[in-house]
Amino acid sequence: MTGVPPALPVEGRWKVPAEVSRSESEPPSFGGPENRRIPMPVRLEDQAGFSLLELLVASLMVVLVVGGMLLILESLRDLHRDQQQLIDAQMTARLALDQMQRDIQQAGIGLLGLLAPLTVIEPRDDGGIDIRYNGDNLTARLAADMGSTTGYIPVDDETGFAAGMVVVIYDGTASYDMVTLTSVQPGQLHHASTLSKAYRVDDGAAVKRVRTTSYYLQAVNDNFSLQRQEDDEDAQPVAINVRSLAITYYHDSNPPQTFSPVTLADQLRIRAIELDIVVETEDVRLNTTEERTVGLSMRITPRSLLLAS
């Protein structure tokens, strides 16, 4: 092909000079025989994909895996919630017992020096307990012999006494009366009760304030609320969701034995108290009869009662 101009590509085609025959219009080869043809691009229709069944199976597997993980997380969350509620119930029971212990430890403070057989711990008819003490040591002496068992108590100093207070008047003959003051005037403590006797100065008669702290259960829905009340003030809840409160009394025998202090003589023999409280968790699961409760017990031996032995 000497003297024949080579074919030149023009806009994707081969421009062949007119003097070159058609058989000679093929594009020159660049390289070996394998490069004589330009490979065509692969059509997308020839690529294989996922079938509908395969997609459904894969989706189902994803749902199963994710669902299983959600169930595990839900179980862990319920377990954590249950454990936290049990801890809260245990803490509620512990705080209630600690509060009762502090008050019972005060039983008889400021009152056990009396010659009168004053009971400082008394069971309530509703299963609760009354605790008496004289925390501020408020005391007054009889200023004159009483001419009557009603009206007022003549005292040498009325400072600190007020209407609504509960006081005990006692003397060296082991006599005493507990009254509620209706009013206080200079040298006079007025009350509306009838005393057991007209007290005399020569018998060492005196008046002391008596403070009373009471604990009892109050029904709330299906459970109880443990209430604490000081004197005539409004009661305050100490613990909620209380299932039960049991109070056991021990007398002064050696070793101490349990008993039911019904009479005054029995109440004077109380030397120790055992408290058993059961608290239910706040959240009770639906569609289940399982009861989740926490029970704690504590035995208390007030030192003031031991000194009275």
| pLDDT, position 74 | 83
Same domain, 297 and 219: yes
Same domain, 94 and 187: no
Query: 163, 182, 209 — which closes off a domain?
Result: 209
Residue 16: inside a domain, yes or no?
no
Q: Which of 129, 131, 130 has its CA nearest to residue 108?
A: 131
Same domain, 290 and 191: no
- The number of domains in the chain is 2
What range does the domain containing 308 cover? 76-130+214-309
Percent pLDDT > 90 in the chain is 40
Same domain, 230 and 113: yes
As a whole number, mean pLDDT of residues 49-56 equals: 81
| pLDDT, position 4 | 52
Same domain, 231 and 111: yes
Same domain, 125 and 151: no
Q: Residue 106 pLDDT more than 90?
A: no
Same domain, 150 and 202: yes
Residue 56: inside a domain, yes or no?
no
Question: pLDDT for 290-306, tens place per residue?
Answer: 668 899 999 998 876 66
Same domain, 236 and 296: yes
164-167 contacts, C-beta under 8 A, 24 or more apart: 164/231, 164/232, 165/209, 165/231, 166/209, 166/210, 166/211, 166/212, 166/231, 167/207, 167/208, 167/209, 167/210
Least confident of 5-14, 121-130, 163-172: 5-14
Highest mean pLDDT among 30-39, 218-227, 259-268, 286-295: 218-227
Q: Is the dihedral of CA 178, 183, 189, 193 positive or negative?
A: negative
Residue 231: inside a domain, yes or no?
yes
| pLDDT, position 35 | 54
Residue 19: inside a domain, yes or no?
no
Query: Residue 289 — pLDDT band, cuts 50, 70, 90?
Result: very low
Query: 181, 209, 237 — which closes off a domain?
Result: 209
Q: Residue 36 pLDDT more than 90?
A: no
Residue of 138 and 216 predicted with greater confidence = 216
Same domain, 201 and 83: no
Residue 268 to residues 215, 265, 274, Cα–Cα distance (Å):
19, 5, 17
Same domain, 219 and 309: yes
Same domain, 305 and 235: yes
| pLDDT, position 249 | 94
**CB-based contact 114:170 (threshold 8 Å):** yes
Query: 209, 233, 249 — which closes off a domain?
Result: 209
Question: pLDDT for 54-105, tens place per residue?
Answer: 888 888 888 888 888 888 888 888 777 888 888 889 999 999 999 999 999 8
Same domain, 222 and 286: yes
Q: What span, in angstroms and rounded, lies between the C-alpha atoms of 142 and 65?
A: 86
